[in-house]
């Protein structure tokens, strides 16, 4: 809760926050539905067709496509979205508010794509594949933040940990091979995780400032070394790109195969980590201890848990995840180091963690939403819709603000998040 | 509590332990207040020297054949780098002009971050607010024809409005939805950056036909007059920055609003019970903070020869400002001196990069180290064996929930 809550809310019987939210979202969805109907439906010349290609050139099954009439398609979508809005206005079945929002968001994207692709072709499966690839670093960043915050340490330094991980991975991979690169990225991530833990636990430095220190250090050191070393010895900035591993049979499935089963091991690792951390947090002793330290360190301490050790361990583990994500960025996604190549994605990861309500599976979902918004931006930029590319570039950041500003409803961080624990 | 050196003893309202005292645990005298920042600077320069040596590729390649010469080269490299740094900052009229010129927007943006800290808000969005403020100022510069003594104030007023709105937006989001300002301001930075990139290509800012994101030349009536003559870049923006320092000092420690800002920073709960409108205050603080950044942005558009606004005019100032506000312990006078110091470091760093081949990114590393040493004074005490202040570093910002 913030200080803005009106005390009267607690005295008079009024609409609950969930009910109010349902109403607001209902109104927004009706307006959105109407906009989709007019702009993306009626705004298209009659007779044009939009072709969504469902096969990549590398796919086993070729030539799949989905042809729609964008006019009809978007008009139907507009009606559905408005209908969902009307349902929200009734304030019934409040548990479906977020689902209605999610469905509307996806339908909006579809209508937008149909409008943008009217009269031409569009690789839908290519976009879906990019969605997964572009969400990887965000998800790793969100998992890093989650590991730290679940034990009560705020990590603003994810950005720096990703950047340093990418740098170390690229340089070590160029010098000693891929394995050394990945391990080096993870090790540097661990080192910066340790630095955050050390500053915030040993010295009780304000954790947000400690995170800023890490971001500055990582940006300054990697840029300096890039300018002073990589520019002189260019072989150190030429790592071998890590190849994708096609999973037999599964990769042959149309659409899903290209989306999920033809990636580098980082992507498979991301899915394993998401479900592993989820299981660990909620079904293992490690998870129970971690959560208790993040919610009520004093009680945890009384119960015999070493609060400092648990915090050090998880923050370092979180740093290692960021280092691994950085290695993906440096060795698989880009395959070279560029100054400030993370470009704010660590902060988007942080937002994804909040959006995902400090849950690993939520982080994955949030990461995919950001991945989708970037994939749409990239693909639509090719389609020549007349929308300036700068505005398309803004989309992921605007989505982040809307998300953090609570379209998903108020979230509750771990109770001891950001508070140093001082043992009596 | 003991008085802060810079605050008169008859200060209205007890300011409580200042950020300086809370972080450093010192506050008895100006000498002790300066001790920690000075030691932090010395340590940062020492670590910087080690980094210069470690990244000296040529010397390391020589290491196998002639280790003595290699080590000599390394020390030579450090000496040359720091000599050029110092010369570039203070060694000539041009150096001093560059230092003051570089310090101008830093002081303004540093004040923006500092006033946020005083109210418990972490404004990482100075960059975005500079973008918007600078763009507003540029629009006035290009579309209004006035004599200089009206044109410049009007352009700066536009920057105040633009930056203030952009900062106030983050404040409003925080106050109304609880969205943490750290995330929203960073996102607003990107959005503002892309917006400026687009806007500078439109006909509102440049002649038809060109696709380079750069504005038409600004008319002479709106260019900030230089102080030492046209040969040197330092301009009256410096006086605006110094004026802002005194204004913010007055606002924070002499006005009711400033008292309320600081009260919200100390305890939003207590402020609410005392009858303050915390939501409005948070929005207002962010407006003032954004307005200061906006003015910083206007000095970079109206005061930067060749007076054609390009798409990256805020540079890294918004982030330097964070280090600077921490170094100045969020006090306006502290920000003034740290702004001058950072101006010297960056102006000198540019000379260092050109003359000694050490990338100006070293200054970013030094800033990181300075923040770290200031925020963790025990580290400095451990190195220099200074007597212990007895207090742990206090929290400047608050977590997601607040």
pLDDT for B238-270, tens place per residue? 999 999 999 999 999 999 999 999 999 888 889
Residues of A in contact with B58 (CB under 8 A): 232
Q: Is B191 on the interface with A (CB under 8 A)?
A: yes
Q: Who has greater pLDDT, A94 or A104?
A: A104
Residue B132's pLDDT is 97
* Complete edge-to-edge strand list for the sheet that includes strand A50-53: A65-68, A50-53, A121-123
CA distance A417 to chain B (A): 6
Give contacts of B190 with chain A, Cβ < 8 Å.
Answer: 344, 393-394, 397
Q: Does residue B391 belong to any structural domain of this protein?
A: no
Q: Do A216 and B278 touch (CB under 8 A)?
A: no
Name residues whose C-beta falls within 8 Å of residue B37's C-beta, 6 or more positions apart in sequence. B327, B338, B370, B374
| DSSP assignment letter at A335 | S
**Model pLDDT for residues B204-237, shown as the tens digit of each residue:** 888 776 778 888 889 999 999 999 888 899 999 9
- What's the structural domain count of chain B? 1
Q: Which residues of B touch A228 (CB under 8 A)?
A: 55-57, 357-359
What is the CATH class of A126-407? mainly alpha
Q: Check whether B319 has a pLDDT greater than 90.
A: no
* B388 in reach of chain A (CB within 8 A): no
CA distance A213 to chain B (A): 5
Closest Cα partner for A157 from A209, A226, A204? A209
Residues of A in contact with B56 (CB under 8 A): 228
Interface A-B: count of C-beta contacts within 8 A: 176
The Cα–Cα gap between A133 and A129 comes to 6
Give the pLDDT score at A122. 83
pLDDT for position B390: 44
Query: Closest residue of B to A208, CA-based?
Result: B397
All residues of chain B having their beta carbon less than 8 Å from the beta carbon of residue A199 are 372, 375-376
Contact B399 A351 (CB under 8 A): no
Model confidence pLDDT, tens digit, residues B290-305: 999 999 999 999 999 8
Phi, psi of B310, deg, nearest 5: -105, 175
Domain assignment present for B18 = no
Using a CB-CB distance cutoff of 8 angstroms, which residues of chain B are in contact with residue A397?
A: 187-188, 190-191
Measured CA to CA, the distance from residue B228 to residue B246 in angstroms comes to: 23
Is residue B269 within 8 angstroms of chain A, CB to CB?
Answer: yes
Residues 6+ apart with CB under 8 A from A19: A91, A94
Q: How far apart are CA B169 and CA B173, in angstroms?
A: 6
C-alpha closest to that of B301 among B137, B85, B162: B137
Highest mean pLDDT among A111-125, A343-357, B107-121: B107-121
Domain with B209 in it: what CATH number?
A: 1.10.3470
Q: Which residues of A touch B368 (CB under 8 A)?
A: 213, 216-217, 220
Question: Would residue B22 count as lying in a domain?
Answer: no
pLDDT confidence of residue B161: 97
Most A CBs within 10 Å, among B62, B81, B116, B178, to test the A interface: B178
Give the residue from A248, A255, A229, A244 showing the smallest Cα distance to A168. A229
8 A C-beta contact, residue A371 and residue A132 = yes
Cβ contact (<8 Å) for A206 and B393?
Answer: yes
Rounded to an integer, what distance in angstroms lies between the CA atom of residue A44 and that of residue A116?
A: 9
Its domain, for residue B208, covers: 29-384
A223/B359 CB distance under 8 A: yes
| Structure confidence at residue B173 as a pLDDT band (50, 70, 90) | very high
Mean pLDDT of A255-277: 93
How would residue A12 be classed by pLDDT, with cut points 50, 70 and 90? low
CA distance A311 to B279: 34
Q: How far apart are CA A364 and CA A368, in angstroms?
A: 6
What contacts A128, CB < 8 A, 6 or more positions away? Answer: A255, A258, A259, A375
CA distance to partner chain B, nearest, from residue A46 (Å): 32
Residue B2 placed within a domain: no
Q: How far apart are the first and last CA of chain A?
A: 29
Residues of B within 8 A of A205 (CB-CB) are: 372, 375-376, 393
| B179, B365, B398 ranked by CB distance to A418: nearest | B398
Determine whether the interchain pair B190/A156 forms a contact, defined as Cβ–Cβ distance below 8 Å: no
Closest chain B residue by Cα to residue A200? B376
CB spacing of B178 vs A406 below 8 angstroms = yes
Phi, psi (deg, nearest 5) at residue B66: -140, 85
Instruction: Answer whether B322 sits within 8 Å of A4, measured CB to CB.
Output: no
Residue B284: per-residue pLDDT = 96
Mean pLDDT of chain B: 85
How far A419 CA lies from chain B's nearest CA (Å)? Answer: 8
How close B52 comes to chain A (CA, Å)? 9
Residue B156 has pLDDT above 60, yes or no: yes
Q: Is the pLDDT of residue B178 over 60?
A: yes
Q: Are B193 and B290 spatial neighbours (Cβ–Cβ below 8 Å)?
A: no
With contacts defined as CB-CB under 8 Å, which chain A residues touch B122? 208
Q: Of A126, A121, A109, whose CA–CA distance to A48 is shortest?
A: A121
- Find, in chain B, the residue whose alpha carbon is nearest to that of A408: B177
Q: Whose CA is closest to A124, among A108, A109, A139, A102? A: A109
Sign of CA dihedral A269, A275, A278, A279: negative
CB contact under 8 A, B400 and A413: yes
Chain A residues whose beta carbon lies within 8 Å of the beta carbon of residue B367 = 216, 220
The Cβ of residue B254 has, within 10 Å, a number of other Cβ atoms equal to 15
Smallest Cβ–Cβ distance between B198 and the set A223, A225, A390 belongs to A390
Handedness of CA A383, A387, A388, A393 (dihedral sign): negative
Neighbours of B165 (CB within 10 A): 18
How high is the pLDDT of residue A380? Answer: 82
Backbone angles phi, psi at B214, to 5 degrees: -150, 135
Residues of chain B contacting A1 with CB distance shorter than 8 Å: 178, 401
Nearest by CB: B367 against A216, A229, A412: A216
- Indicate if the pLDDT at residue B14 is higher than 50: no
CB nearest B187 (choices: A206, A400, A410): A400
Rounded Cα distance between A197 and A155, Å, is 9
Residue bearing the bigger pLDDT, B298 or B68 = B298
Nearest by CB to residue A390, choosing from B195, B376, B401, is: B195
The percentage of chain A sitting over the pLDDT mark of 90, rounded to a whole number, equals 51
Amino acid A357: pLDDT: 85
In Å, how far are A388, B130, B214, B243 from B295, measured between CA atoms? 28, 7, 20, 12
> Reduced to 3 states, what is the DSSP secondary structure of residue B94?
helix
| pLDDT confidence of residue B4 | 42
- Provide the pLDDT for residue B7: 41
Domain-embedded: residue B397:
no
Residue A421 confidence (pLDDT) above 90:
no
Residues 6+ apart with CB under 8 A from A187: A168, A320, A323
What is the predicted pLDDT for the residue at B11?
41
- Which of B321, B361, B366, B367 is the best residue to mutate to test the A interface, defined by the most A CB atoms within 10 Å of its own CB? B361
- What is the rounded distance in angstroms from the CA atom of residue B314 to the CA atom of residue B297? 6
The confidence band for A392, taking pLDDT boundaries of 50, 70 and 90, is: confident
What is the per-residue pLDDT for A2?
A: 44
Among chain A residues, the shortest Cα distance to B268 is held by A3
Search chain B and give the residue with CA nearest A153: B399
Which pLDDT belongs to residue A33? 93
Cα distance from N-terminal residue to C-terminal residue, chain B: 27
Mutant choice from A175, A349, A405 vs B, greatest count of B C-beta within 10 A: A405
Q: Give the three-state DSSP class for B386.
A: coil
DSSP of A252-284, one letter per residue? GSTTHHHHHSEE-HHHHHHHHHHHHHHHHHHHS
Closest B-chain CA to A203: B376
Peptide bond into B283 cis (omega under 30): no
User: In this structure, is residue B65 part of a structural domain?
Assistant: yes
Residue B370 lies in a domain: yes
CB within 8 Å: A217 and B369: yes
Query: Cβ of A90: how many Cβ atoms within 10 Å?
Result: 10
Instruction: State whether B195 and A219 contact (CB < 8 Å).
Output: no
CATH 1.10.3470 domain position(s) in chain A: 126-407
Contact A401 B195 (CB under 8 A): no
The pLDDT score that the predictor gives to residue A39 is 87
Q: What average pLDDT does this structure show over B312-327?
A: 87
Q: How far is A269 from chain B (nearest CA, A)?
A: 27
Question: Which of B125, B399, B402 to probe by mutation at the A interface, max A CB count within 10 Å?
Answer: B399
Tell me if B247 is assigned to some domain.
yes
Chain B 73-92, CB below 8 Å of chain A: which residues?
none
Identify how many contiguous H helices and E strands chain A contains and give both numbers.
16, 5
Rounded Cα gap, residues A147 and A290, in angstroms: 9
In A, which residues are within 8 Å of B393 by CB distance?
Answer: 203-206
Per the model's pLDDT, the better-predicted residue between A12 and A56 turns out to be: A56
The per-residue pLDDT for A404 is 79
For residue B375, give how far its alpha carbon lies from the nearest alpha carbon of chain A (Å): 6
Given pLDDT bands bounded at 50, 70 and 90, which one contains residue B402? very low
Judged by CB atoms within 8 Å, which residues 202-261 of B form the interface with A?
none
A214-243 pLDDT, tens digit per residue, is: 999 999 999 999 998 998 889 999 999 999
**Reported confidence tier of residue B31, pLDDT bands at 50, 70, 90:** low
The pLDDT of residue A221 is 95
Cβ distance A4 to B176 less than 8 Å, yes or no, reads yes
């Amino acid at each position: 809760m913030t200080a803005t809550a009106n005390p009267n809310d607690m005295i008079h019987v009024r609409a609950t926050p969930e009910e109010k939210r349902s109403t607001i979202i209902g109104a927004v969805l009706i307006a959105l539905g109407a906009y989709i109907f007019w702009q993306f439906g009626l705004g298209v010349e009659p007779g044009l067709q939009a072709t969504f290609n469902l096969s990549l050139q590398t796919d086993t099954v070729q030539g799949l496509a989905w042809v729609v009439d964008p006019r009809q398609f978007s008009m139907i979508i507009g009606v559905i979205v408005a209908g969902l809005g009307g349902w929200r206005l009734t304030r019934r079945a409040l548990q479906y508010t977020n689902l209605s929002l999610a469905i509307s968001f996806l339908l909006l994207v579809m209508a937008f794509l149909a409008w943008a692709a009217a009269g031409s072709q569009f690789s839908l499966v290519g976009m879906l594949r990019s969605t997964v690839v572009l969400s990887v670093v965000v998800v790793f960043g969100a998992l890093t933040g989650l590991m730290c915050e679940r034990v009560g340490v705020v990590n603003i330094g994810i950005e720096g940990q990703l950047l340093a991980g990418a740098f170390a991975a690229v340089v070590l991979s160029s010098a000693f091979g891929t394995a050394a690169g990945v391990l080096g990225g993870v090790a540097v991530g661990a080192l910066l995780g340790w630095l955050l833990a050390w500053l915030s636990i040993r010295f009780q430095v304000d954790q947000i400032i400690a995170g800023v220190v890490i971001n500055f250090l990582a940006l300054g050191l990697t840029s300096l070394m890039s300018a002073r070393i990589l520019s002189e010895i260019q072989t150190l900035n030429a790592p071998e790109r890590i190849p994708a591993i096609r999973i037999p049979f599964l990769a042959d499935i149309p659409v899903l195969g290209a989306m999920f089963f033809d990636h580098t091991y980082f992507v498979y690792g991301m899915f394993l980590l998401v479900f592993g951390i989820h299981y660990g947090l909620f079904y293992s002793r490690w998870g129970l201890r971690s959560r208790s330290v993040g919610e009520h360190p004093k009680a945890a301490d009384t119960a015999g848990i070493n609060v400092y050790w648990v915090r050090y361990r998880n923050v370092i583990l979180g740093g290692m995840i960021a280092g691994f994500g950085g290695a993906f960025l440096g060795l698989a996604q880009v395959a070279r180091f560029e100054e400030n190549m993370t470009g704010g994605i660590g902060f988007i990861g942080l937002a994804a963690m909040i959006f995902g309500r400090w849950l690993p599976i939520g982080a994955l979902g949030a990461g995919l939403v950001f991945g989708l918004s970037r994939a749409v931006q990239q693909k639509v930029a090719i389609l020549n819709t007349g929308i300036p590319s700068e505005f398309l570039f803004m989309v992921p950041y605007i989505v982040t603000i809307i998300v953090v500003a609570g379209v998903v409803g108020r979230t509750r961080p771990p109770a001891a998040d950001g508070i140093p624990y001082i043992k009596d | 509590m003991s008085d802060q050196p810079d605050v008169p003893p008859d200060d209205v309202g007890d300011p409580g332990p200042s950020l300086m005292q809370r972080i450093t645990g010192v506050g008895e005298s100006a000498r002790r207040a300066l001790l920690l920042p000075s030691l932090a600077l010395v340590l940062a320069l020492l670590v910087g020297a080690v980094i210069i040596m470690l990244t000296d590729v040529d010397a390391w390649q020589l290491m196998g054949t002639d280790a003595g010469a290699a080590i000599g080269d390394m020390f030579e490299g450090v000496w040359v780098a720091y000599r050029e740094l110092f010369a570039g900052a203070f060694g000539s009229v041009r150096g001093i002009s560059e230092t003051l010129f570089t310090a101008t927007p830093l002081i303004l943006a540093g004040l923006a971050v500092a006033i946020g800290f005083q109210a418990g808000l972490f404004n990482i969005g100075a960059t975005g607010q500079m973008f918007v403020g600078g763009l507003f100022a540029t629009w006035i510069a290009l579309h209004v024809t006035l004599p200089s003594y009206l044109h410049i104030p009007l352009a700066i007023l536009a920057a105040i409005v633009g930056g203030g709105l952009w900062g106030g937006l983050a404040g409003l989001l925080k106050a109304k939805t609880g969205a943490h300002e750290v995330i929203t301001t960073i996102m607003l930075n990107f959005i503002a950056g892309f917006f400026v990139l687009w806007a500078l290509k439109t006909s509102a800012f440049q002649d038809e036909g060109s696709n380079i994101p750069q504005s038409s030349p600004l008319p002479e009536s709106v260019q900030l007059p230089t102080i030492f003559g046209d040969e040197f870049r330092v301009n009256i923006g410096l006086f605006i920055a110094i004026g802002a320092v005194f204004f913010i000092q007055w606002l924070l420690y002499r006005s009711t609003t400033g008292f309320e800002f600081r009260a919200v920073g100390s305890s939003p709960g207590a402020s609410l019970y005392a009858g303050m409108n915390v939501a409005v205050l948070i929005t207002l603080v962010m407006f003032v903070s954004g307005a200061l950044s906006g003015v910083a942005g206007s000095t970079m558009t109206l005061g930067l020869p060749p007076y054609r606004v390009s798409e990256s005019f805020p540079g890294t100032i918004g982030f330097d400002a964070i280090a600077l506000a921490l170094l100045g312990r969020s006090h306006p006078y502290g920000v003034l001196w740290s702004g001058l110091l950072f101006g010297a470091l960056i102006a000198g760093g540019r000379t260092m990069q050109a003359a000694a081949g050490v990338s100006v990114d070293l200054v970013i590393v030094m800033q990181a180290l300075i923040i770290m040493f200031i925020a963790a004074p025990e580290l400095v005490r451990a190195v220099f064996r200074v007597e212990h202040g007895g207090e742990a570093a206090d929290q400047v910002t608050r977590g997601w929930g607040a």
